[in-house]
Amino acid sequence: MTSMNMTIRAKAGGYRRLESFKATTIIYDFTVEFCKKYVNEYRMCDQMVQAARSGRQNIAEGSQASSTSKKFEIKLTNVARASLEELLLDYEDYLRQHGLPMWNKDSAEARKVRNLVYIKNRSYSSYRPYMSHSQSAANTAICIIHQATYLLNRQLDTLEQQFLETGGFTERLYHARMNAK
């Protein structure tokens, strides 16, 4: 029975190596700190932190569930992407409601933040210097969210292609059962 399980369940996990997971971990840590420093309204702070957390946790959950459901992995990865979109809007709202300008994606500030992605072993501390003012902090978060969303879009494309090429758990069950007869 054990050897049959090996042929039915696909390899799962490995999410800690995903660039999307690393990026959403930074976003989560950054958002927690941003809210502590700059968001006074409890409800907004809670919503932002939960959206950031959801972006990260759904990648992990989907990756673990992938052994028995590629469909569920795709769904949860998309939930992660949607959570980041919600968080993006919160940061944009913060800037607008506080009369602070949003950086143009090609501005010097945005390019400098975007280039931090190339730092080996980057983490929240790589972005900490941008936390000193609410305007730079919110704009930095927006840059990181755009990068993470790009990574999640690529990840979803890959997951969809894998599904088309190898099928899902139900198909593997059927083939394993037919081979066992």
Token pair for residue 177?
Answer: 């059962």
Assess contact for 20 and 148: CB atoms under 8 A. yes
- Sequence-distant (≥ 6) Cβ neighbours of residue 10 within 8 angstroms: 66, 67, 68, 70, 166, 169, 172
Q: For the chain, 181 residues long, give each residue's pLDDT as a single digit of tens.
A: 444 443 555 565 688 999 999 999 999 999 999 999 999 999 999 999 999 999 999 999 998 887 777 888 899 999 999 999 999 999 999 999 999 999 999 999 999 999 999 999 999 999 999 999 999 999 999 999 999 999 999 999 998 888 777 766 666 666 666 777 7
Tokens representing 52? 């950031």
* Encoded tokens for 116: 């931090």
Instruction: Spell out the domains of the chain, with CATH numbers in brackets.
Output: 14-180 (1.20.1440.60)
What does the alpha-carbon distance between residue 161 and residue 177 come to, in Å, rounded to a whole number?
25
Query: Structure pTM?
Result: 0.86
Cβ-based burial of 48 (10 A; exposed 0-12, middle 13-18, buried ≥19): buried
